[in-house]
Structure 1
Amino acid sequence: MHQLEHKISKALSACRSAFLLAGAFSLCINLLMLTVPIYLFQVFDRVLLSGSIDTLLVLSLGALIALTSLAVFEVLRRMILTRIGVRIETILGGPVLAASLKLKPDGNHGNLQGLRDINQLRSFVTGPVVPLMFDALLSPVYLLIVYFIHPMLGALALIGAVLLFCCALANQKLTSKPLRQSGLYSRRAMSTAENHIRNAEIVHALGMTADSVSLWGKDNALALHESAVAGDRSAYITAASKFIRLVLQIGLLGWGAYLVINNQLTAGMMMAASIISGRALAPVEGSIEGWRNTVFAWQAYTRLKEFVDWPASDDALTLPVPAGQLVVEKLSFYVQGQQEPILSNISFAVEPGESVAIIGPTAAGKSTLARLIVGGLPPSAGCVRLDGMDIRNWNREQLGVHLGYQPQNVELFPGSVSQNIARMKEDADDGKIVEAARLAGVEELISNLPNGYQTVIGIDGAPLSGGQKQRIALARSFFGDPKLVILDEPDANLDEQGTQALIKTIADASERKITVVAITQRATLLRYVDKILMMRDGQVIAFGERDEILSRLMNANAVRGKRKRKRGAA
């Protein structure tokens, strides 16, 4: 069983006693719902015949007390269901968000659908459908009471219940598929919209607004069409169920009147039978109208059960503080559907405090290697070891303290500069924030910001430029006590001043025995690292000391230059 599926079972188990209590209150509510028919029965068949005002007052007082109790139980049931919904979201919200934040095996990010599904479940539990389901369980009791009043009336009410049940089955059969398709298209449309909003600047700059709306509109139109189909079918069935219930009410009253005329029934019993049968059929009819919510809630529950959650890192042992030795052993990575591996049999080792530059053409697999090293992707074969221990066996919370990572696409979080450097930790030590900024060489940059460390960064990274964001992210990588720092093209958006600050940062990190692995497309950094690893087509073609690799590169460039000159002369 996946961790998240276990959490779902745990959440439902934790709410079992509350559901039972809600069921007990539902039983009390339905018993007290007999107050009105019993009151009418007594008034018609006892008070009106005897003319006793005292009896009327006593009956009225008893009915008032019963209806007050009914209102109290209804409030309590609603409060319990509300708290069940809150508890489900409380138990599942954190694990679902944590699972969404993890990368899938194909390298893609999770999404917010899991949180939407939890919200859907909570809305269903706290909505009107669940109380109707509780009430529907007691419908046979009402039908039995009608039967005891008179078997013919009981038989007529049972026929109505069967017909309404058939309507419910027809509604389920005819609307399930279009509702399922509507939900699928709707989620796809929302995913498209979220993606385009995330890239709004590109959409606006390249004049892609009309195309973006069109792409969203296609899926949204399909969602609306399927929803309309389901709505139309449900409307017919709902109308039919109301027709059946009203005809049944008239039939019960008419047949009851006939029995009263023939002295087989009293007027009070006739009225009571009509009201009780209506109460018996109301939950079934209400369940038909609320079927859409039931389908959506079930789909949400099913998706949550299928939500893939990787093994919890909390189960891993807390290991000694690493020294920073990095060993990559026969590492390979495949993506399903692709014949060629993205990485194939990568092996190299870096000692604590050493710096390594990874170079190679586009699509060589450099960024994928970085993601595998930090544990963002699960390897298809081989492993990454930090101080001899497989990276997957480290407690993620402990590993995060000793690991720094700057991805190729730098993103900062909404919040202050200091919060971003501190990795959004609420109890971060100010001294460590300043130390990380100093090590990354961004103190001067931060001091020139409007509010220094307290400058608020927006969702899009404003007011920082691309280079400034990259340098703040560099400081974030060195926050705390990192022993291994992975930098994916940290110099991509840097000017000369930023590049020099980066070079000094790598040198200072080496003095502090921090292992640095930097992916770069520029030759500037190569003169300031200890080792160089060259990649092409997902494989290592050279790895060694800096001077050795640079010498090989220079010789290779010289040979290519001679060949060019010869071809030019020819």
Structure 2
Amino acid sequence: MSKSKQVNPLRAALHGMRGILFFSIVMSLVYGLLKLAGPLFMILVFDRVLPARSRETLVALLLLLTITIGVMTLLDYARRRIMARFGAQFQEGVEQHIFSSQARESYLAKGGKKPAAGLNETDQLRGFFHSGSLITILDFLWSPVFLGIVFVIDPLIGWVVVVGLVVLALINVARNMTQTERMTRSSAAGEAGVGLKDALLVSRHVIETQQMTAAYNQRWLAARRRTRDAAVELKDWTAWFSITASHVALLIQYVALAAGAYQTINGDITIGAMVASMYLARHVVNRAERFLAEIPDMLEASRNWQNLSKILAAPRRPVATPEPVSALTLSQLTVRCLLTKRTLLRNVNAAFAPGSTIEIVGGAGSGKTILAETLIGRMPRASGKVLLGCIDIERLSIYDGATTIGYIPQRIDFVDGTIEENLVGFAPVGAPERLVQIARVAGVHERIAALPDGYQTHLDPLGSVFSKGERHQLALARALYHDPQILIVDEPDTSFRDALKNDLGTTIADFTGAGGIMVVLTRVPLKIFRSTHRYNLDAGVLREIKSDSAPIHAVREPLMGAVRPNLTRS
């Protein structure tokens, strides 16, 4: 049975824009051909117009050259604008493929500064197309033609140009071989400075409250000094080669002129041929110099292309959609620290039917947060499974993950944006009254409404506008907004415990009664809200606590055929 051939997304993107690329190549060929109008004008002026003293011919030739240069101007502008759009469409096509993945593991890789792998490479390739590097390459393809015409005019001038090009190439090779280490140092110093900027943005409160300002300033100055010194060292080194290459190119032109003058004195070529060969030699040298300067960018573009090809060719994990009401099963679950390989969770087994309320009690360092983040699919597992129904939790798509899991972490953070954007998770707000209802259930609506901008108030990542308890209430509203099937609470604070006595207790009773599952991980047992399952977590080992006492706040029996829970039901 034959397998269907997998389409390379990069080749597909180029194939879809082959017309634009072909048109740009044709325009570049025509542009290069029109470049020959200059040398032809010089030959005719010196060898025909001046000896004949024909003013009419001179005016006609000048008019034709003016029209030609005008056409060249339009062609050059058009092909550069076309290449810019080519780069933009290439980026759009590749990014559409990248963002077509629904697997949660495809996004927000640790350490990455963009939402998905491959976006940096795509940006840099678009910049390569937009920068005119391809135009430089296409222009350089005419250099052998111009050099061949120089050899036809006079071989001596041609060999002068060839020797000069070899010298320029050697200078460029020496620069590329010796600047790598300096570029690495400069890049590392720059990244260290960016890291300090990011630390100030994220940890400004810590720096101020812990009196780190003086030490941070010294570290900032030291980082700036290293960045400046590394940049100056790199610039000094590369400037030497760049300046040398530019003056060598200038010397080549003068030597070519001298060789042409020598041949003219000997009577081998005319003055017009000498001037034309000088013009052609200058174009060959200048284009070669620009082409050699683009070689590092071309090599970088080649590496980006190869990296992007590997990223896009990687197999994608298939996603699955869980049933509206499903059981939660932990089977032989083991998690190890990626850095130390120490076992954090050891052979955890548990099964929770729809409608269950699970309370997991453990001290500091027992593994509660590790277990919580494993349940939401964020923590890599060494072995075992976390199943929602018959679906592995890691196979939830980015869309199902948002509507299946509600998570209140121990450390409450926010995304830089408005309160509304944080509560709805950047999703479109369908009905404002729903947002208000959720905030009322969490007990934070009145506090938000008292702000001058209400739900449009800007939040920094720390939520500095609110107290610690209010931040937990916001996190609760955020977790409840999408009517999740599983609600996970890591270390509930006092506001959560107090809310259980009021509307939140009723809401959770409705939630579990409709088949939802709530998991609470806490140091102190919940006294006001008894659970259907109680466990103790110690050193990564989960043990069930058997109890015959009836729950204080009765939870309805699980409804196996119930509809998807609605947490905003009054």
- In the TM superposition, residue 53 of structure 1 has moved relative to its aligned partner by 2.2
Alignment of 1:394-413 (within 5 A): 394-413=396-415
- In the TM superposition, residue 180 of structure 1 has moved relative to its aligned partner by 3.4
Choose 245-254 or 206-215, whichever is displaced more. Answer: 206-215
Amino acid at match of 2:388: L
Distance 2:204 2:121 in 1: 26
In the alignment, is residue 38 of structure 1 matched against residue 40 of structure 2? yes
Amino acid at match of 1:520: T
- In the TM superposition, residue 127 of structure 1 has moved relative to its aligned partner by 2.0
1:453-472 Cα deviation digits (max 9, x unpaired):
44443454253333222212
Alignment of 1:522-537 (within 5 A): 522-524=524-526, 527-537=529-539
Ranges in structure 2 where 5+ consecutive residues have no aligned partner = 1-6, 553-570
Alignment of 1:24-35 (within 5 A): 24-35=26-37
Contact 2:359 2:521 in 1 (8 A): yes
- In the TM superposition, residue 361 of structure 1 has moved relative to its aligned partner by 1.4
Distance 1:287 1:468 in 2: 60
Match of 1:125?
129
- In the TM superposition, residue 203 of structure 1 has moved relative to its aligned partner by 0.9
Contact 1:190 1:216 in 2 (8 A): no
Alignment of 1:349-368 (within 5 A): 349-368=351-370
- In the TM superposition, residue 547 of structure 1 has moved relative to its aligned partner by 4.3
Secondary structure at the aligned position of 1:154 is classed as helix
Match of 1:154?
158
Distance 1:107 1:520 in 2: 29
Match of 2:236?
232
Residue from 44, 50, 62 that aligns with 2:52: 50
In structure 2, the CA distance between the partners of 1:538 and 1:322, relative to structure 1 (3 Å rule), is: same
Distance 1:423 1:233 in 2: 49
Match of 1:325?
327
Distance 2:98 2:532 in 1: 42
Residue from 271, 277, 295 that aligns with 1:273: 277
Contact 2:413 2:461 in 1 (8 A): no
- In the TM superposition, residue 339 of structure 1 has moved relative to its aligned partner by 3.7
Query: What percentage of residue pairs aligned between the two structures are identical?
Result: 25
Choose 145-154 or 428-437, whichever is displaced more. Answer: 428-437
- In the TM superposition, residue 31 of structure 1 has moved relative to its aligned partner by 1.9
1:334-375 Cα deviation digits (max 9, x unpaired):
233414212121111111111112221122211111111111
Contact 1:533 1:540 in 2 (8 A): yes
Secondary structure at the aligned position of 1:343 is classed as strand
- In the TM superposition, residue 395 of structure 1 has moved relative to its aligned partner by 2.9
Match of 1:334?
336
Contact 2:356 2:532 in 1 (8 A): yes
Match of 1:557?
none
In structure 2, the CA distance between the partners of 1:336 and 1:376, relative to structure 1 (3 Å rule), is: closer
Distance 1:548 1:334 in 2: 37
In structure 2, the CA distance between the partners of 1:512 and 1:424, relative to structure 1 (3 Å rule), is: same
In the alignment, is residue 163 of structure 1 matched against residue 146 of structure 2? no
Distance 2:267 2:441 in 1: 99
1:528-549 Cα deviation digits (max 9, x unpaired):
3222221111111335558499
In structure 2, the CA distance between the partners of 1:208 and 1:290, relative to structure 1 (3 Å rule), is: farther
Distance 2:546 2:284 in 1: 82
In structure 2, the CA distance between the partners of 1:392 and 1:473, relative to structure 1 (3 Å rule), is: same
Contact 1:527 1:546 in 2 (8 A): no
Distance 1:107 1:542 in 2: 35
Amino acid at match of 1:341: T
In the alignment, is residue 422 of structure 1 matched against residue 424 of structure 2? yes
- In the TM superposition, residue 517 of structure 1 has moved relative to its aligned partner by 0.8
Contact 1:168 1:287 in 2 (8 A): no
- In the TM superposition, residue 515 of structure 1 has moved relative to its aligned partner by 0.9
- In the TM superposition, residue 146 of structure 1 has moved relative to its aligned partner by 0.6
Amino acid at match of 2:247: F
Ranges in structure 1 where 5+ consecutive residues have no aligned partner = 551-570
In structure 2, the CA distance between the partners of 1:240 and 1:415, relative to structure 1 (3 Å rule), is: closer
Contact 2:402 2:482 in 1 (8 A): no
Distance 1:105 1:48 in 2: 71
Amino acid at match of 1:142: F
1:32-69 Cα deviation digits (max 9, x unpaired):
22222221111111111112222222212221121111
For normalisation by structure 1, the TM-score amounts to 0.84
Secondary structure at the aligned position of 1:405 is classed as strand
CA RMSD of aligned residues (A): 3.5
Contact 1:342 1:537 in 2 (8 A): yes
Distance 2:441 2:185 in 1: 54
Match of 1:201?
205
Alignment of 1:450-461 (within 5 A): 450-461=452-463
The number of residues matched between the two structures is: 543
Distance 2:314 2:214 in 1: 39
Match of 2:559?
none
Alignment of 1:62-81 (within 5 A): 62-81=64-83
Contact 1:543 1:549 in 2 (8 A): no
Distance 1:533 1:37 in 2: 89
Residue from 312, 316, 319 that aligns with 2:319: 316
For normalisation by structure 2, the TM-score amounts to 0.84
Match of 1:285?
289
In structure 2, the CA distance between the partners of 1:191 and 1:537, relative to structure 1 (3 Å rule), is: same
Distance 2:313 2:542 in 1: 32
In structure 2, the CA distance between the partners of 1:221 and 1:455, relative to structure 1 (3 Å rule), is: closer
Contact 1:82 1:125 in 2 (8 A): yes
- In the TM superposition, residue 490 of structure 1 has moved relative to its aligned partner by 3.4
Amino acid at match of 1:437: A
Distance 1:105 1:452 in 2: 32
Contact 2:333 2:386 in 1 (8 A): yes
- In the TM superposition, residue 397 of structure 1 has moved relative to its aligned partner by 1.3
- In the TM superposition, residue 249 of structure 1 has moved relative to its aligned partner by 1.1
Choose 399-408 or 287-296, whichever is displaced more. Answer: 287-296
Amino acid at match of 2:402: G
